[in-house]
């Protein structure tokens, strides 16, 4: 089983990079499952809309994950319950949260559970992702042959701690949210693929995808600012490839990918 995972899609530029490059990446790497984090994929760079979700799915994406900006676009509540391959962080508190926190993909009889959790350090205080992930894996044991987790979190220590806590129980933990790809792709305990952050897909020359002026001004004057997606920037698509042994459910390989509009970076 090979998985292609793409980091946070930002704005119209990010959607265009998915449309332009996911088909060629799939042709090159031949993944059986393609997963994309789409929590910043609206034109304003916060949340997801139905149009963007459909464009990603029609480009060859199998599952779209979200994060702390899941509810950034109110339109989400109109379609999330009907979007079977769109998942939001599982550990939102309460029993009446729209949508779902995981889905199971069946590829020629091999069942991959794709799960989404959100960290709590420097982010909203959701329910404990460590305990809930451990319980969900135990609950799905027998219904899934392998487990992939998009862990949407700010702190690198929380991401690594989460992966180590679940190592040997899940096939992969890949971090999202910080939009900067890390250089630490590895396999923990010879079983669990880990990457602190997959990076982002969208405007490469902005500040995490946003126009730089308003971001810098906020640092200088400490006043609220309206951030705008830098749609004029050159595009980038970032993520990773993970191989999973279908007999054991263990990861055997992980490597990062980056592609700029003018060729490989």
Can you give 126-156 as a three-state secondary structure string? CCCHHHHHHHHHHHHECCECEEEEEEECCCH
Rounded CA-CA distance 254/193 in Å is 6
The answer to whether 29 and 14 are in contact (CB under 8 A) is no
Residue 29 is a catalytic residue: no
Name the active-site residue from 29, 69, 152, 177.
Answer: 69
3-state helix vs strand vs coil in the chain, percent to 5: 25, 35, 45
**Residue 184, burial from CB neighbour count under 10 angstroms (0-12, 13-18, 19+):** middle
Strand partners of residue 192: 188
The answer to whether 69 and 47 are in contact (CB under 8 A) is yes
Q: Which residues belong to the active site?
A: 69
């Amino acid at each position: 089983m090979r998985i292609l995972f793409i980091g946070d899609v930002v704005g119209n530029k990010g959607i265009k990079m998915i449309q332009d490059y996911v088909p060629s990446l799939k042709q090159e790497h031949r993944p059986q499952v393609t997963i994309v984090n789409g929590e910043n994929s609206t034109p304003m760079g916060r949340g997801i809309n139905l149009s963007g979700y459909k464009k990603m799915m029609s480009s060859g994406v199998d599952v779209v994950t979200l994060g702390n900006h899941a509810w950034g676009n109110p339109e989400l509540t109109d379609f999330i319950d009907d979007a079977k391959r769109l998942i939001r962080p599982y550990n939102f508190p309460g029993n009446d949260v729209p949508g779902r926190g995981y889905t199971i993909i069946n590829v020629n009889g091999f069942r991959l559970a794709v799960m989404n959790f959100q960290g709590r350090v420097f982010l909203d205080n959701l329910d404990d992702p460590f305990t809930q992930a451990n319980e969900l894996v135990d609950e799905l044991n027998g219904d899934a042959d392998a487990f992939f987790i998009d862990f949407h979190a700010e702190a690198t220590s929380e991401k690594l701690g989460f992966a180590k806590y679940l190592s040997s129980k899940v096939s992969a933990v890949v971090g999202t949210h910080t939009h900067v790809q890390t250089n630490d792709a590895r396999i923990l305990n010879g079983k669990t693929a880990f990457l602190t952050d997959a990076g982002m897909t969208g405007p490469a020359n902005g500040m995490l995808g946003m126009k730089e002026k308003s971001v810098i001004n906020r640092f200088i004057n400490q006043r609220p600012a309206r951030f705008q997606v830098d749609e004029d920037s050159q595009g980038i698509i970032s993520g990773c490839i993970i191989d999973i042994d279908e007999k054991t459910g263990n990861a055997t390989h992980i490597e990062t990918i980056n592609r700029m509009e003018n060729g490989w970076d």
